[in-house]
Amino acid sequence: MEVYLKQSTRFELLASQLQIHGAKSTLGELDFLLYDKKFETPIHLEMACKFYLLDTSSEEHTLWIGPNRRDSLPKKYEKWKTRQFPMLYHEITQKMLADLIPYTVESFQQRCYLRAFLFIPEAHDPRSLTPSEQRSLVGTYRGKEALNELDPNAYYALPPKRHWLLPPPLYPDWIPQKEAQPKIAEAIARERAVLVYEKKGSDIKQFFIVWWI
């Protein structure tokens, strides 16, 4: 996003990853401050890339959750609303920005951009998703029984979280099923969901194996 904004003819990047420091600790961070030349307005933009799984345990509502059930889409929006957006108006932030940019914080519009990578249960009909959810759908997720269903004729990659944004075909480390199985089993025993790439020939599928079903 920072590279895009620097090259854009519409947006002027004013600041990025701006840390707000208190007396004893860091209070927060502003992702991007930019100026929209088309609409002549400054913008505070918060951005996130998230991997979410469709929780079908509730019939009352659709809920997208993190792979280990400690995060959710509503929690992320609430954090933007109650913590990250208000940081722009903090007294320390205003003093810092007074020397950096020629705009008052009151003149900023606030926006969020979420890039989601969505996974659904294998038996779930993707046609039940909204159009925007379908565009973000990249794979499925399975329970612990999937350990015994790994294909012995396929190769597997188990990227660490810091590499989840790397496109699967570019991931360098592939191992046979007999090596992948114990690695996944160890993670599941520690209650850690595992992102799995499965490759047969040139065909690559991606799915999570989770510990909680």
pLDDT of residue 158: 98
Which pLDDT tens digits describe the chain residue by residue (213 residues)?
A: 999 999 999 999 999 999 999 888 889 999 999 999 999 999 999 999 999 999 988 665 669 999 999 999 999 999 999 999 999 999 999 999 998 999 999 999 999 999 999 999 999 999 999 999 999 999 999 999 999 999 999 999 999 999 999 999 999 999 999 999 999 999 999 999 999 999 999 999 999 999 999
pLDDT of residue 119: 98
pLDDT of residue 99: 87
pLDDT of residue 135: 96
Task: Indicate the residue type of 111.
Answer: R
pLDDT of residue 56: 86
pLDDT of residue 24: 84
Distances in Å between the Cα of 64 and the Cα atoms of 117, 164, 170 are 11, 18, 27
Q: Where are the alpha helices (DSSP H) in 80-148?
A: 91-98, 131-135
pLDDT of residue 22: 86
CA dist 125 and 118 (Å) reads 13
pLDDT of residue 61: 61
Distances in Å between the Cα of 131 and the Cα atoms of 55, 77, 140, 207 are 18, 20, 17, 21
pLDDT of residue 205: 96
Biggest CA–CA distance in the chain, Å, is 62
3-state SS assignment for residue 52: strand
CA dist 77 and 81 (Å) reads 6
Structure tokens belonging to residue 89: 């108006």
